[in-house]
């Protein structure tokens, strides 16, 4: 500050000039940045199956009549009682609702319930992770069947007049029990001699359904197909192919659950691209019951927020009176009541 | 003026000069090197941005081609090569920019070091000049500094003011909430969403149901009921206001309206129990006189059925009073349109479409030019568009269809069937094929618009042309036992017409060929309805006929209800709602009240 | 900010919870017939926790060494060496994190967010340089701070910044400090770290804007001494305040000032003040006293006004908080009604907001309220800084010698060799060549 | 430095004020230190992703301060289904179930697919190639068991004071975790 005024002013001017030049350079750089930015608002690495999330409305032959909000958490599976009410396996309880959606009762269980089925006489068969229990129609426990010695993980039950078929996803087998709980046959195990390839189960979704035509329907998600077995365990035929297109089974492991219409046609449930479709018994794609649009939360949920065991987002379907289809969305804990659209040519 | 712990160089001048030259050269070379490296890095940066390997359009195109030709091995090979190339380029880019960064750093260090050294060699010792009056200069400098600090402060404050008053917030809160008062939970919920198509189809949101063809998707409905024994009668509720309009249903609510010269009412019943949930009076507009009201009472004040879009219900009366309520009966808006000039009283029913209300306001005579068709915003009642109609009074309800890739509104007027664009109200096509006192409404089935010329004929029109159509463009016409009051009903395959004198005719929708007719031997004003494969018909003396909606005639039930019926039924899951002269009946299996019907999808 | 609070508890819960809550095991993978061994996910360890003690030791050692070199040894060369070391260690090796400039934010967040446990290293990096500055001036800036070291080393041909401009721009670090503490205390963001121009250079990576800014500052710094330290650095503002009252200080001369004025142009940072004589008559001081009085009266009003202005900034400032920003986007009138066909980050965030909009709104309102309170403090701070600076510029200092300003001096040691007394000390000049000490000084202070 | 010639010494007055301010400053710093020391953690913290909150927005790949993000995909094999048709490995509609580039989902081919035994395949992440984009994570999570997920790799992370990804994370999934438990891994139970 001691320098002559002249020199000081001179350096000041120089300083200002340089400052202005620097600012201009910074502004230019900023502008440049402004022009090239803007890629931050999209995800260049998005994994998108968006095209498959839309269903051709012409293929949807069902209409949603009602949506039931279940009062229970962790609803996993459904079954229909002979009276037409719905049984819900939800966490550590078995709930019952009327088709109108009002809760009738709930029966507490000792462990998380994984599957449930009802016999024609009203007897309830409940599957836990590694054992089965039998209940009277009024919810009183009648029997606890022996704990399975294997690494069992029961995920589906089907009941006939004289047998109970339990799908054991852990052991990759369908166990046929007599009504006393004795295992009388093992179905679907890998067997080269009988040309049975075995179940491929990346996740615990193995369902078994029975139809009076005498064949068991079992899904084989890892092979993207449905297999038909005789009660003796002979693989009669199988169909299904992996594709996200509507006529096939999507993702790594679908279908996850099955239901049978009164005439033997099959209702299939998928996860990932949550959708429910109807196939003829011989695998011809017939129509869509509910497309992915109906389950937006389910589609987003994925494997996140597990029920404690890593399973979460799936659909289950059961067929009620008049071939009404009830779909359980495990993410929203809602039941969608679906009825066939009234068209004369159907 | 540089950092030097050494005194200025004592070396001979020449030696110093040559060292200085070297240093200067070095610094310049380093500067050029840095500029080059920096420039290359910059160019690379932009090139990497533009040619992001993961967004390669070439790759996307190849993959698209592969999807079209999944067996093309050559294509697969090209994809693999391109993929390898792109990824190699990407990782090479990473390596290059890393190396470039180091080169830049080294260059910078070398340049700065030599430049500093050079400056030091060149440094001239500071020779202080003699200065006087330190205090004076000090004071001046301080004053300048104060000014600068003040300017800085003012500039900062100005910037902050601009920031504070230039910012707005979209958080839904008043200042009170922002200041920390509670009541955050009471923040206004977002606008309720309009129900989707599925909910619309599952309800009975307007006269003749969601499609206007009086077809219900519900099938679990009773075939017969008995008011005497109460069999299959869920409940009965008195209707305190007379009217010919038909009930509508949304969720667990049934709506209808009625009135006389004294008052006009909108009524809401609980679908489960029949309890009157609410009733609201719609007062007459300011221009309506008592004399007009008396005259209107003769012909009926409430022939127009209500409509709902799932959020609001709408009602219109022959007084020209139009009102909107939310589902809980809170008034949303109302309009007084003035008493229409109509010999029988206004009778066109209301129709909604995605939150909008369609109003066909035909009146007077052709030359009066007072008729119009308007689409109103359901939330406000403000017109979206209005189209004048050069027709006199008519009593049909308009029809909204989706055909030929566009939303169309089909109306009847004088001798014409006229269609308008749903989007803007512009006329789309018209055909001169009807006449008389137009009462049965147009319907849409099997891709055809079916328009009834009362007691004359039914015409089928394919709604994919534009402009004036001729008689030759009619797909078919049918002229046997054509009704003059009841609107025909049709599913995709079969059309049923019901003449006022009770003759039911079944016609093939595709060909117009009559399949059968049957005399029900009753007088009918109410339009029949189809639910599943059943046909419900109601007579003016309370007769009920339930038959098969099939290619052959089949009777399922025929019985009496004991109360005159002029209104078309409405359907809900497991329930039929029938409006008698003074009673609303809910009919359903069991006859026991099995709970309010809640839970219908919305 | 995030409910990072209680993460110790979360860990406890996760540890115990494995048996309590998640008692169910997941569906097992297939049983392999071959002798396949399942790989286990590798977990490369972070930099060892012990290394933070090394950082701390380097900081403490560096501070001590810098203080010794600057005040006792008076060695510019030593300081250059230490600068290079600091630049390499804290700059290029530690990549600018951990860093004293950012530490005040950690302290602020730790003070106001009970859930945030401030790492003790951050606390030490905050306290140590400040404590040293209270006693020995800004020796941290001289050679320990990598930012300072970088700029010091890069300076080639310094241009004198006019004193008035320095006085004006010199206010910015205080404002920046206030803003940074506000944003840190409210958990919105760490402004100092976000707009740090040199860390991207140390990492040789960063956003285009910040790398450009850093390079720009470097080029500027070749001609303007330490532009970041003087006109931006918020921690520098703290150190400035501490150094203003320091016990010891840098002196240009090791002995006594000969008033030779050789050093007056030697400081590239404009820190050297020339001697100012007191006016001969007390009357000459009257205008200064009156101005001082006016400023003293005005100061509370100024503070109040700016504090109120600060409180009005809650709305724009709070938008820098991610939660408030999300709530704003969620409630924005132009929010798209339907998510895009391919999810974007923004649509995913909005979907998250949609799960609990009321909770988000409540949080956003609470955060904004904190900003309102903090805004009063921030605004008041701006007024205070401005007022005190104006008052300080009204004081008439009494200086007999050329000496560095305590606050502005960065202890770089450049001025030493300009002093003939220093040359005498170094043995480069005969003591006889010097004029005698001014008569006012009875005894020359020892070096 | 008392001056003999001047009756009052402004220098010493200022020194006195300075000492007072210095003591005040030290007291303040000491108080702050005392207050903060109670709260200060003995361990430092590092950033980590909570896989349960991650929404796979892709910003881990684009917003890290490092050229190659410190976030990488990790694979917990214990919950993997060993699918032949892995939706984390293959494009949504793969041309064929082989390792051809046209079928792979990963933009950098960082997943190695290996046949183990019929019908099982093993998938391993090559972290040198992984850019942390989360594309495979979304595929696996959407259809499969979610055994692929993103984690901050601490051999790469420079542990910024404020993580630049955390600031923009669409799922608010980043949090500070103690340095002695630096990962939030998915486990089989």
Q: Does C14 touch chain A (CB under 8 A)?
A: no
Question: How many Cβ atoms are within 10 Å of B432's Cβ, its own excluded?
Answer: 14
Q: What is the rounded (10 degree) CA torsion for C375, C381, C383, C385?
A: -150
Residues D136 and D58 in one domain: yes
Kindly state whether residue B142 falls inside one of the protein's structural domains: no
Is B164 contained in some domain? no
**B-contacting chains (≥3 CB pairs under 8 Å):** A, C, D
Taking the CA of residue A126 and the nearest CA in chain C, the distance in Å comes to 18
Query: What CA–CA distance (Å, rounded) separates B256 from B266?
Result: 6
Q: Which of B73, B94, B122 is the last residue of a domain?
A: B122
Give the gap in angstroms from C-alpha D106 to the nearest C-alpha of chain A.
9
Question: Do B287 and B293 meet the contact criterion of CB atoms below 8 Å apart?
Answer: no
Residue-by-residue DSSP string for C138-196: SHHHHHT-HHHHHHHHH--S--PPPHHHHHHHTTHHHHHHHHHHHHHHTTS--HHHHT-
**Pairing relationship of beta strands B467-469 and B427-432 according to DSSP bridges:** parallel
Please tell me whether the peptide bond between D119 and the residue prior to it is cis, using omega within 30 degrees of 0.
yes
| pLDDT attached to residue C117 | 83
pLDDT of A35 above 50: no
Confidence band of A113 (pLDDT split at 50, 70, 90): very high
Position C1 scores a pLDDT of 39
Alpha carbons A229 and C119: distance in angstroms, whole number: 64
Q: Do D109 and B54 count as a contact with CB atoms less than 8 A apart? A: no
Q: Check residue A20 and give its pLDDT.
A: 54
Which residue in C24, C219, C265 is closest to A112 by CB distance?
C24
> Which region holds residue D109: left if phi is over 0, alpha if psi is between -120 and 50, else beta?
left
Residue B63 forms part of a structural domain: yes
Q: Which of D52, D81, D84 minimises the CB distance to A305? A: D52
- For chains A and C, CB pairs below 8 A equal 90
**D144 close to C (CB below 8 A):** no
A68 within 8 A of A97, measured Cβ to Cβ: yes
Residues D56, D35 share a domain: no
Instruction: Using the structure block, give the residue that is written with the tokens 């969620």.
Output: C330
d(CA A265, CA B142): 95
For residues D106 and D27, membership in a common domain is answered with no
Count: domains in chain D: 2
Q: Which chains touch A (3 or more CB pairs under 8 A)?
A: B, C, D
> DSSP string covering B95-152, please?
HHHHHHHHHHHHHHHHHHHHHHHHHHHHPPPP-PPP---HHHHHHHHHHHHHHHHHHH
A202 Cβ contact list (under 8 Å, min separation 6):
A221, A222, A252, A253, D80, D81, D82, D83, D144, D145
Q: Do the Cβ atoms of C76 and C210 come closer than 8 Å?
A: no
Residues in chain A with CB shorter than 8 Å from the CB of C28 are: 151, 153, 170
In a domain, D2, yes or no: no
Sequence-distant (≥ 6) Cβ neighbours of residue D150 within 8 angstroms? D49, D51, D54, D56, D60, D71, D72, D73, D74, D132, D134, D137
Name which of C166, C382, C414 is nearest B3 (Cβ-Cβ): C414
Higher pLDDT, C175 or B181: C175
Q: Mapping DSSP to helix (H, G, I), strand (E, B) and coil, where does residue C330 land?
A: helix
pLDDT for B379 beyond 90: no
Whether residue D117 lies within 8 A of chain A, CB to CB, comes out as: no
Question: Please, what's the largest Cα pairwise distance for chain B?
Answer: 135
* pLDDT greater than 50 at residue B525: yes
Contacts of A204 in chain C (CB under 8 A): 27
State the nearest Cα–Cα gap between D100 and chain C, in angstroms.
24
User: Cα–Cα distance between B70 and D94 in angstroms, integer?
Assistant: 10
- In the prediction, which pLDDT does A40 show? 53
Q: Residue B348: what are its φ and ψ, rounded to 5°?
A: -65, 135
Domain ranges of chain C: 52-248, 287-333+347-392
In a domain, A137, yes or no: no
Q: How far is C241 from chain B (nearest CA, A)?
A: 17
Beta bridge partners of D71: D152
D101 plus D58 within the same structural domain: yes
Instruction: Using alpha carbons only, give the angle A179, A184, A185 rounded to the nearest 5 degrees.
Output: 130
Same domain, B412 and B555: yes
pLDDT per residue over B37-91, tens digit each? 999 988 888 777 666 667 778 888 898 899 889 888 999 999 999 999 888 888 8
Please check whether residue D104 touches A, CB under 8 A: no
Q: Is residue A46 part of a domain?
A: no
Cα distance from B205 to chain C (closest Cα, Å)?
A: 25
Main-chain dihedrals φ then ψ at residue C351, nearest 5 degrees: -65, -35
- Check B79 against D109: CB less than 8 A apart: no
Does the beta-carbon distance from A252 to D92 stay under 8 Å?
A: no
Provide the 3-class DSSP secondary structure of residue B515. strand
CB-count burial class (<10 Å; 0-12, 13-18, 19+) for B65: middle
C-alpha A234/C-alpha A215 separation (Å) is 10
* pLDDT, position C267: 93
Chain B: closest CA distance from residue C20 (Å): 34
Domain ends where: B82, B102, B122?
B122
Domain-located, residue A296: yes
- In percent, how much of chain B has pLDDT > 70? 90
Instruction: Search chain D and give the residue with CA nearest C137.
Output: D22
What percentage of chain D's residues is helix, strand, coil (to nearest 5)? 30, 20, 55
Q: How confident is the model at residue B123 (pLDDT cuts 50, 70, 90)?
A: confident
Of A1, A69, A344, the CB nearest to B492: A344
**Are D27 and D90 found together in one domain?**
no
Given a cut of 50, the residues of chain C with pLDDT beneath it are 1-23, 440-447
Contact B80 D102 (CB under 8 A): yes
Note whether A101 contacts B: Cβ–Cβ < 8 A: yes
Alpha-carbon distance of B321 to C415, in angstroms, equals 94
Q: Quote the mean pLDDT of chain A.
A: 86
Cβ <8 Å between B217 and A102: no
C159 vs A18, A43, A308: nearest CB: A18
d(CA A232, CA B460): 59
Q: Which residues of B touch A66 (CB under 8 A)?
A: 202, 573, 599-601
CA angle B132, B138, B140 (to 5 degrees): 105
The verdict on a CB contact (< 8 Å) between C28 and D188 is: yes
Nearest by CB to residue B5, choosing from C76, C310, C314, is C76
| D106 and D141 inside one domain | yes
**Cα distance between residue C224 and residue C169, in whole Å:** 13
Instruction: Enter the pTM of the model.
Output: 0.72
Range of the domain at A215: 52-73+153-340
DSSP state of B57: H
Q: Are residues B348 and B210 in the same domain?
A: yes
Residue B177 belongs to some domain of the structure: no
User: Which residues partner with D122 through β-bridges?
Assistant: D114
Distances (CA, A) of B465 to B423, B441, D5: 17, 21, 114
Q: What is the mean pLDDT of residues B299-310?
A: 89
Q: Percent of chain B, pLDDT > 90?
A: 36
Helices C234-244 & C172-185 angle (0-180, nearest 10): 110
For the stretch A76-90, pLDDT in tens is: 999 999 999 999 999
CB-CB contact of B509 with B497 (8 Å): no
Q: What is the mean pLDDT of residues B312-334?
A: 90
Sign of the alpha-carbon torsion through C300, C306, C307, C308: positive
Look at residue B166 and tell me if it is in a domain.
no
Q: Which two tokens stand for residue A109?
A: 């269980």
The answer to whether C335 contacts chain A (CB < 8 Å) is: no
Q: Is there a single domain that holds both residue D96 and residue D74?
A: yes
- Rounded to an integer, what distance in angstroms lies between the CA atom of residue D167 and that of residue C196? 16
Rounded CA separation B148/A16 (Å): 14
How many angstroms separate the CA atoms of D98 and D85, rounded?
A: 9
What's the sign of the alpha-carbon dihedral C260, C262, C265, C266?
negative
CB-based contacts of B136: which residues, under 8 Å, 6+ apart? Answer: none
Q: Does B8 touch chain C (CB under 8 A)?
A: no
Q: How far apart are CA C426 and CA B380, in angstroms?
A: 92
CA distance readout (Å), D25 to C137, C170, C189, D14, D40: 13, 22, 27, 16, 21
pLDDT tens digits along A256-290 = 999 999 999 999 999 999 999 999 999 999 999 99
Residues D36 and D116 in one domain: no
Q: Can you say how many angstroms the Cα of residue B129 is from the centroid of all Cα atoms in its chain?
A: 83
Q: What is the dihedral of CA B169, B170, B176, B181, to 10 degrees?
A: -110
pLDDT of residue A311: 80
Q: What average pLDDT does range B234-257 have in this prediction? A: 91
Q: Rounded to an integer, what distance in angstroms lies between the CA atom of residue C163 and that of residue C165?
A: 5
CATH number at residue A212: 2.120.10.30
Distance between CA B392 and CA B370 in Å, rounded? 8
Chain D nearest C-alpha distance from B67 (Å): 7
Residue A235: exposed, middle, or buried by beta-carbon count in 10 A (0-12, 13-18, 19+)? middle
Cα distance between residue B442 and residue B454, in whole Å? 11
Name the helix (H) or strand (E) containing A207: none
Predicted local distance difference test score (pLDDT) of residue C218: 93
**A52-76: per-residue pLDDT in tens?**
888 999 999 999 988 888 988 889 9
Mean pLDDT of A24-42: 45
Which residues on chain A are in Cβ contact (under 8 Å) with B601? Answer: 64-67, 336
Give residue C204's pLDDT: 85
Residues D12 and D78 in one domain: no
The whole-angstrom separation of Cα C417 and Cα C74 is 9
CB contact (8 A) between residue A63 and residue B198: yes
CA distance B343 to B602: 40
Given this model, what pLDDT does residue D5 score?
39
Q: Are A309 and C25 an interchain contact pair (Cβ–Cβ within 8 Å)?
A: yes
In this prediction, residue C9 carries a pLDDT of: 43
pLDDT in tens, B544-598: 999 988 888 989 899 998 889 999 999 988 889 999 988 999 998 765 443 333 3
Residue D108, preceding peptide bond in cis (omega within 30° of 0): no
> B440-496 pLDDT, tens per residue?
999 998 889 999 999 889 999 998 888 888 888 889 998 888 998 999 999 888 999
The residue with greater pLDDT, C335 or B110, is: B110
Q: Which residues of chain D have pLDDT under 70?
A: 1-11, 41-42, 189
CA distances from C41 to C275, C335, D135 (A): 69, 41, 19
Q: Average pLDDT, stretch A307-323?
A: 87
Mean of the per-residue pLDDT values of chain B: 85
Contacts of residue D126, Cβ cutoff 8 Å, sequence gap at least 6: D110, D111, D112
Q: How far apart are CA A326 and CA D79, in angstroms?
A: 31
Residue A204 to residue C27, Cβ atoms within 8 A: yes
Let me know: does D122 contact D116? Beta carbons within 8 Å: yes
CB contact under 8 A, D109 and B70: no
Quote the number of domains for chain A: 1
* Yes or no, beta carbons of A43 and D57 under 8 Å apart: yes
Range of the domain at D155: 45-178
User: If you compute the radius of gyration of chain D from its CA atoms, what whole number of angstroms results?
Assistant: 27
Question: Is residue D134 helix, strand or coil?
Answer: coil
Instruction: Give the neighbours of chain D: at least 3 Cβ pairs within 8 Å.
Output: A, B, C
Q: Does B182 touch chain C (CB under 8 A)?
A: no
Query: Across-strand partners of C119?
Result: D41
């Amino acid at each position: 500050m001691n320098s002559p005024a002249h020199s000081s002013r001179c350096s000041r001017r120089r300083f200002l000039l340089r400052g202005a030049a620097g600012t201009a350079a910074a502004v230019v750089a900023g502008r440049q940045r402004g022009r090239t930015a803007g890629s931050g608002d999209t995800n260049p690495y998005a994994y998108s199956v968006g095209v498959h999330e839309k269903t051709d409305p012409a293929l949807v032959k069902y209409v949603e009549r009602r949506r039931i909000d279940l009062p229970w958490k962790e609803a996993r599976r459904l079954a229909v009682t002979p009276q037409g009410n719905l049984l819900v396996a939800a966490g550590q309880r078995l709930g019952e609702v009327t088709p109108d959606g009002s809760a009738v009762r709930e029966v507490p269980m000792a462990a998380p319930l994984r599957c449930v089925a009802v016999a024609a006489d009203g007897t309830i068969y409940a599957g836990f992770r590694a054992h089965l229990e039998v209940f009277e129609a009024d919810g009183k426990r009648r029997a606890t069947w022996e704990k399975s010695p294997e690494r069992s993980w029961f995920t589906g039950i089907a009941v006939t007049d004289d047998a109970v078929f339990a799908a054991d996803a852990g052991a990759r087998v369908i166990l046929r029990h007599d009504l006393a709980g004795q295992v009388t046959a093992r179905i679907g195990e890998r067997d080269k001699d009988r040309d049975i390839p075995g179940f491929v189960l990346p996740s615990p979704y193995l369902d078994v359904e029975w139809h009076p035509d005498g064949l068991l329907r079992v899904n084989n998600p890892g092979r993207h197909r449905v297999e038909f077995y005789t009660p003796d365990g002979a693989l009669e035929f199988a169909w299904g192919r992996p594709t996200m297109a509507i006529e096939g089974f999507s993702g790594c492991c679908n279908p996850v659950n099955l239901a049978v219409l009164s005439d033997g046609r099959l209702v299939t449930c998928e996860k990932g691209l949550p959708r429910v479709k109807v196939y003829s018994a011989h695998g011809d794609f017939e129509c869509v019951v509910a497309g992915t649009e109906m389950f937006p939360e389910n589609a987003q949920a994925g494997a996140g927020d597990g029920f404690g065991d890593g399973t979460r987002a799936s659909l289950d379907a059961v067929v009620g009176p008049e071939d009404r289809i009830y779909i359980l969305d495990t993410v929203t804990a809602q039941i969608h009541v679906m009825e066939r659209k009234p068209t004369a040519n159907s | 003026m540089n950092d030097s712990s050494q005194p200025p160089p004592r070396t001979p001048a020449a030696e110093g000069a040559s060292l200085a030259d070297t240093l200067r050269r070095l610094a310049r070379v380093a500067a050029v090197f840095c500029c080059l490296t920096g420039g290359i890095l910059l160019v690379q940066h932009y090139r990497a941005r533009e040619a992001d390997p993961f967004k390669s359009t070439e790759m996307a195109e190849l993959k698209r081609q592969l999807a079209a030709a999944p067996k093309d091995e050559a294509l697969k090979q090209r994809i693999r090569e391109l993929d390898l190339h792109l990824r190699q380029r990407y990782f090479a880019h990473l390596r290059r920019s890393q190396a470039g960064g180091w080169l830049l750093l080294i260059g910078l260090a070398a340049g700065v070091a030599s430049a500093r050294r050079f400056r030091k060699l060149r440094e001239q010792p500071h020779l202080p000049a003699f200065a006087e009056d330190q205090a004076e200069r000090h004071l001046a400098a301080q004053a300048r500094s104060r000014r600068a600090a003040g300017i800085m402060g003012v500039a900062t404050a100005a910037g902050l003011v601009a920031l504070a008053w230039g910012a707005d917030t979209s958080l839904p809160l008043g200042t009170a909430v922002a200041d920390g008062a509670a009541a955050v939970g009471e923040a206004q919920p977002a606008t309720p969403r309009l129900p989707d198509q599925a909910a619309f189809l599952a309800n009975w949101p307007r006269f003749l149901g969601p499609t206007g063809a009086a077809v219900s998707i519900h099938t679990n409905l009773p075939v017969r009921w008995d008011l005497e024994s109460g069999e299959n009668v869920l409940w009965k509720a008195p209707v305190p206001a007379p009217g010919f309009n038909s009930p509508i249903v949304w969720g667990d609510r049934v709506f209808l309206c009625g009135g006389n010269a004294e008052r006009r009412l909108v009524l809401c019943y609980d679908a489960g129990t029949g309890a009157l949930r609410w009733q609201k009076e719609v007062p007459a507009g300011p221009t309506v006189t008592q004399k007009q009201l008396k005259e209107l009472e003769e012909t009926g004040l409430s022939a127009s059925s209500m409509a709902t879009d799932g959020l609001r219900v709408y009602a219109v009366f022959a007084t020209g009073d139009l009102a909107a309520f939310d589902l809980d009966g809170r008034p949303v808006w109302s309009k007084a349109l003035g008493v229409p000039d109509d010999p029988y009283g206004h009778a066109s029913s209301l129709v909604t479409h995605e939150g909008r209300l369609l109003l066909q306001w035909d009146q007077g005579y052709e030359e009066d030019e007072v008729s119009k068709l308007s689409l109103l915003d359901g939330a406000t009642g403000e017109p979206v568009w209005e189209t004048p109609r050069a027709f006199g009074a008519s009593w049909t309800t308009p029809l909204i269809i989706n055909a030929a890739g566009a939303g169309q509104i089909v109306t009847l007027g004088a001798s014409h069937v006229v269609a308008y664009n749903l989007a803007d109200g512009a006329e789309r096509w018209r055909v001169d094929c009807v006449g008389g006192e137009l009462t049965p409404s147009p319907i849409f089935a099997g891709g055809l618009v079916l328009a009834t010329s009362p007691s004359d004929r039914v015409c089928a029109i394919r709604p994919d042309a534009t402009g004036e159509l001729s008689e030759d463009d009619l797909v078919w016409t049918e002229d046997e036992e054509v009704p003059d009051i009841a609107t025909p009903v049709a599913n995709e395959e079969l059309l049923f017409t019901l003449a006022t004198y009770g003759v039911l005719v079944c016609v093939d929708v595709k060909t117009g060929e009559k399949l059968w007719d049957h005399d029900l031997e009753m007088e009918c004003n109410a339009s029949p309805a189809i639910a599943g494969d059943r046909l419900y018909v109601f007579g003016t003396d309370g007769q009920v006929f339930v038959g098969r909606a099939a290619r052959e005639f089949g009777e399922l039930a025929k019985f009496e209800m004991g109360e005159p019926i002029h209104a078309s039924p409405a359907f809900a899951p497991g329930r039929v709602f029938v409006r008698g002269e003074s009673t609303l009946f809910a009919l359903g299996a069991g006859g026991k009240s099995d709970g309010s019907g809640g839970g219908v999808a919305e | 900010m995030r409910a990072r609070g209680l993460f110790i508890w979360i860990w406890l819960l996760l540890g115990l919870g494995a048996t309590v809550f998640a008692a169910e095991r997941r569906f097992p993978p297939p049983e392999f017939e071959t002798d396949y061994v399942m790989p286990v996910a590798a977990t490369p360890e972070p930099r060892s926790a012990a290394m933070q003690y090394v950082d701390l030791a380097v900081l403490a050692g560096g501070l001590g060494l810098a203080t010794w070199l600057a005040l006792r040894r008076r060695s510019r060369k030593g300081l250059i060496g230490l600068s290079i070391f600091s630049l390499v260690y804290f700059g290029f090796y530690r990549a600018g994190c951990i860093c004293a400039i950012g530490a005040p934010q950690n302290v602020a967040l730790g003070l106001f967010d009970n859930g945030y446990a401030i790492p003790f290293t951050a606390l030490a990096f905050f306290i140590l340089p400040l404590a040293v500055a209270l006693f020995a001036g800004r020796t941290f800036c001289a050679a320990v701070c990598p930012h300072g070291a970088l700029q010091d080393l890069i300076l080639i041909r310094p241009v004198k910044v006019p004193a008035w401009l320095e006085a004006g721009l010199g206010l910015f670090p205080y404002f920046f400090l206030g803003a940074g503490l506000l944003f840190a205390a409210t958990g919105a963001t760490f402004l100092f770290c976000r707009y740090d121009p040199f860390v991207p250079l140390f990492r040789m990576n960063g956003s285009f804007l910040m790398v450009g800014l850093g390079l720009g500052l470097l080029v500027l710094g070749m001609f303007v001494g330490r532009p970041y330290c003087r006109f931006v650095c918020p921690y520098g503002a703290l150190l400035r305040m501490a150094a203003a009252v320091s016990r010891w200080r840098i002196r240009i001369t090791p002995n006594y000032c000969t008033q030779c004025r050789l050093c007056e142009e030697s400081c590239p940072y404009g820190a050297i003040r020339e001697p100012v004589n007191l006016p001969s008559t007390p009357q000459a001081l009257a205008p200064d006293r009156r101005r001082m009085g006016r400023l003293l009266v005005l100061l509370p009003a100024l503070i109040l006004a700016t504090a109120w202005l600060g409180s009005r900034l809650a709305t724009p400032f709070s938008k820098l908080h991610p939660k408030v920003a999300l709530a704003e986007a969620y409630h924005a009138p132009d929010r798209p009604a339907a998510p895009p066909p391919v999810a974007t980050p923004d649509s995913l965030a909005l979907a998250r907001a949609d799960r609990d909009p009321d909770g988000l709104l409540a949080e956003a309102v609470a955060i904004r309220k904190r900003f309102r309170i903090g805004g009063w403090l921030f605004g008041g701070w701006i007024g205070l800084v401005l007022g005190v600076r104006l008052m300080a510029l009204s004081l008439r200092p009494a200086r007999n010698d050329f000496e560095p300003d305590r606050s502005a001096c960065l202890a770089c040691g450049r001025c030493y060799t300009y002093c003939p007394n220093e040359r005498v000390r170094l043995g480069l000049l005969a003591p006889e060549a010097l004029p005698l000490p001014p008569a006012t000084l009875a005894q020359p202070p020892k070096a | 430095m008392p001056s003999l010639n001047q009756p009052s010494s402004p220098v010493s007055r200022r020194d006195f004020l300075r000492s007072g301010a210095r003591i005040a400053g030290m007291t303040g710093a000491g108080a702050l230190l005392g207050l903060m020391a109670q709260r200060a953690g003995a361990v430092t913290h590092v950033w980590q992703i909570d896989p349960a909150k991650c929404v796979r927005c892709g910003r881990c790949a684009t917003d890290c301060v490092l050229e190659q993000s410190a976030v990488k995909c990790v694979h917990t094999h214990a919950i993997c289904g060993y699918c032949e048709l892995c939706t984390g490995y293959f494009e949504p509609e793969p041309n064929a179930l082989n390792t051809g580039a046209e079928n792979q989902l990963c933009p950098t081919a960082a997943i190695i697919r290996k046949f183990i035994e019929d019908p099982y395949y093993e998938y391993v992440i090559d972290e040198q190639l992984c850019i942390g984009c989360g594309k495979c994570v979304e595929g696996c999570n959407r259809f499969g068991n979610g055994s692929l997920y993103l984690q901050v790799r601490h051999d790469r992370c420079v542990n910024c004071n404020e993580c630049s990804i955390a600031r923009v994370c669409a799922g608010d999934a980043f949090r500070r975790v103690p340095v002695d438990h630096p990962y939030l891994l998915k486990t089989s139970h």
